[in-house]
Chain A
């Protein structure tokens, strides 16, 4: 358990510009004391290079479509930094949520409590 500053990468795997959900989550995480590096709509390479160069403690993905797109990013992140936890939110239908959980990704669909997401961030980054 550590009280050190933790850094979270937030990225969107889809190419649609909705920004309401990710903004609220980023703000809540900031208010909980996290440093949130937001890279918006990002390709797999963008996500991985940010995860490496920024040496983040947690990756948060907003997924708005097929998880196949997100899966590529997840696979590369897990190959490059296997210890790095990942959680995801967005329009993720139940069958897709199961697939993601099988990969070790925690899923927070629409309607999830912000406090649950913040708690998850604290747990996954080792702050609590």
Chain B
């Protein structure tokens, strides 16, 4: 009876088997050689800078927005007042994702949903309202434009408002998104420009920023949606760098700007921070390792200003539970911790009500408080790469990087990142994992507290969904009519024509897009041009 059965096998989310404990001899030799460097020294796995968070705390950067532009403006100001140190202007997804105006039948059919997850911005006028009084020059703004076909509009509108307010574009810092993994893998929309056209847009944005907005991160190479759709941490790494290669190779092919500038600008990438927190911390370290190796091997870049990866992180929304939502405060905190141990430069924590709705004010505030408590009360921020040197951390970092490179090579074997998207290969990988993950929860193999075990809830607080405001559609409708009626129609028509011509040609579309913003061309009109010129991406899966 006293006989103990051997401990069950345990695995990281990436499938790497975990030992019960680690010693120095577990660390791969090649990795041991570079372990003891200082943060900020190649290959950078220890972190961006030796003084780490002591010199610059990570940015508290929360996804935000709903309703009318003024509602979003108010929520952003609330978050800034409460301590976030950058701001994100999310656009309403019913209109933005598809580049529709609110009068499109598919949007009208869902009018109550308009403004649910972002503010409706159909022209530069709306963006101006959303940006009213925001610290564009002193803070770090995310202009929205998560979806690839939407990004040129979102960026151009933001920059046009900034220009109109007298800000020097060359000096403003901020970021776009134009996220391939979101657009083509995780949130496949009804209509979208094909991946090749998307690549063209992103390369145009990169080149435009190189010339006019040197402090702006043109596009965000992001793994969040790849991960939340099912890819494992090693796959998330592999796919992110495959995405990066697609952009950098395109820039090289075009030969208009130095690939080094592009690499520097895009060297602010984004990952998901999930709940297996040690592995996630290792993932960030592996990411820095991989970027440095990738740049050196493939592009002959070793400049520390370029090869030193900056990372933004968002905690995994899919890990937030519908049941016993207050438990999610703990989950958010733990996932944030993993990201902090991973040395990220910027962090967004999902709201505890994530599984119910967009964040209420309180949930949003809590996301900021979590980060502030870690920053100010725990002392973690005093020492850079606190887990560095741990036998486990170093072994898992090296193993993750190796596994990630294998996935990267598999993607190359499929013809590259775009080909792997077009064929549905990535989707099938994600789908298989999703199914397995789901089955693990279903069987109880993976316990989720409050969901498949310990279901009684003693909480005295009833948490319900935050549904935003209910006048977003009506106001957007009347504002659309206003702008169409009062704008300078000749200028708008001419700008739209120019945009169409540039889309059809091989010139950079951003100058024409900026012009279109000045002329108050609307989102739906731009979307119509895109649909007409590029057609629709042939989705490998139905959604």
Chain A interface residues toward B at CB < 8 A: 12-20, 22-24, 27, 38, 40-41, 43-44, 64-66, 68-69, 91, 93-96, 109-111, 113-115
Given contacts A20-B229, A91-B357, A111-B321, contact A41 B190 (CB under 8 A): yes
Q: What are 13 A-B contacts with C-beta separation under 8 Å? A: A13-B110, A15-B98, A15-B113, A16-B117, A16-B187, A43-B105, A64-B113, A69-B113, A91-B356, A95-B465, A110-B321, A111-B321, A111-B323
With the chains together, A31 CA to B434 CA distance in Å? Answer: 16
Determine whether B37 belongs to the interface, using a CB cutoff of 8 Å to chain A. Answer: no
**Is the beta-carbon distance between B357 and A93 smaller than 8 angstroms?**
yes
**Is the beta-carbon distance between B355 and A111 smaller than 8 angstroms?**
yes
Q: Can you name 7 extra interface pairs (CB under 8 A) apart from A17-B190, A96-B465?
A: A19-B187, A23-B434, A64-B113, A110-B321, A110-B322, A111-B451, A111-B452
Which residue of chain A has the shortest Cβ distance to B105 in the bound complex?
A43
- Closest approach, in angstroms, between the C-beta of B322 and any C-beta of chain A? 4
Chain B interface residues toward A at CB < 8 A: 93-94, 97-98, 105-107, 109-113, 116-117, 186-190, 228-230, 318, 321-323, 355-357, 430-431, 434-435, 438, 442, 448, 451-452, 462, 464-465, 467, 541-543
Residues of chain A within 8 A of B112, CB atoms compared: 65-66, 68-69
**Is the beta-carbon distance between B434 and A66 smaller than 8 angstroms?**
no
**Is the beta-carbon distance between A109 and B322 smaller than 8 angstroms?**
yes
**Is the beta-carbon distance between A15 and B356 smaller than 8 angstroms?**
no
Name the prevailing secondary structure of the B interface residues.
loop
Which residue of chain B has the shortest Cβ distance to A116 in the bound complex?
B442
Closest 7 CB pairs of A and B: A93-B465, A65-B113, A66-B112, A17-B187, A68-B112, A19-B543, A110-B322
Which residue of chain B has the shortest Cβ distance to A15 in the bound complex?
B94
Residues of chain B within 8 A of A38, CB atoms compared: 542
With the chains together, A69 CA to B431 CA distance in Å? Answer: 28
Residues of chain A within 8 A of B97, CB atoms compared: 15-17
Which residue of chain B has the shortest Cβ distance to A65 in the bound complex?
B113
Q: Pick from A13, A22, A94, A114: contact of B356, CB below 8 A.
A: A94
**Is the beta-carbon distance between A115 and B442 smaller than 8 angstroms?**
yes
**Is the beta-carbon distance between B113 and A94 smaller than 8 angstroms?**
no
**Is the beta-carbon distance between A19 and B541 smaller than 8 angstroms?**
yes
Which residue of chain B has the shortest Cβ distance to A113 in the bound complex?
B442
Given contacts A17-B189, A18-B187, A20-B434, contact A41 B543 (CB under 8 A): yes
Residues of chain B within 8 A of A15, CB atoms compared: 93-94, 97-98, 106-107, 110, 113, 189-190
Residues of chain A within 8 A of B321, CB atoms compared: 110-111
**Is the beta-carbon distance between B110 and A69 smaller than 8 angstroms?**
yes
**Is the beta-carbon distance between B188 and A19 smaller than 8 angstroms?**
yes
Residues of chain A within 8 A of B229, CB atoms compared: 19-20
Which residue of chain A has the shortest Cβ distance to B229 in the bound complex?
A20
**Is the beta-carbon distance between A94 and B543 smaller than 8 angstroms?**
no
Given contacts A66-B112, A69-B109, A94-B356, contact A111 B322 (CB under 8 A): yes
Residues of chain A within 8 A of B93, CB atoms compared: 15-16
- Closest approach, in angstroms, between the C-beta of B153 and any C-beta of chain A? 17
Residues of chain A within 8 A of B98, CB atoms compared: 15
Which residue of chain A has the shortest Cβ distance to B324 in the bound complex?
A111
With the chains together, A27 CA to B434 CA distance in Å? Answer: 11
Residues of chain A within 8 A of B228, CB atoms compared: 20
- Closest approach, in angstroms, between the C-beta of B21 and any C-beta of chain A? 34
Residues of chain A within 8 A of B323, CB atoms compared: 111
**Is the beta-carbon distance between A114 and B442 smaller than 8 angstroms?**
yes
- Closest approach, in angstroms, between the C-beta of B314 and any C-beta of chain A? 15
Residues of chain B within 8 A of A17, CB atoms compared: 97, 186-190, 543
Residues of chain B within 8 A of A110, CB atoms compared: 321-322, 355
**Is the beta-carbon distance between B543 and A93 smaller than 8 angstroms?**
no
- Closest approach, in angstroms, between the C-beta of A8 and any C-beta of chain B? 15
Q: Pick from B117, B190, B438: contact of A24, CB below 8 A.
A: B438
With the chains together, A16 CA to B109 CA distance in Å? Answer: 14
Residues of chain B within 8 A of A19, CB atoms compared: 187-188, 229, 541-543
With the chains together, A68 CA to B467 CA distance in Å? Answer: 12
With the chains together, A91 CA to B318 CA distance in Å? Answer: 11
Residues of chain B within 8 A of A114, CB atoms compared: 438, 442
Q: Pick from B188, B189, B230, B467: contact of A93, CB below 8 A.
A: B467
**Is the beta-carbon distance between B465 and A94 smaller than 8 angstroms?**
yes
Which residue of chain A has the shortest Cβ distance to B225 in the bound complex?
A18
Which residue of chain A has the shortest Cβ distance to B466 in the bound complex?
A93
Which residue of chain B has the shortest Cβ distance to A111 in the bound complex?
B451
Q: Pick from A27, A64, A115: contact of B435, CB below 8 A.
A: A27
Residues of chain A within 8 A of B467, CB atoms compared: 66, 93
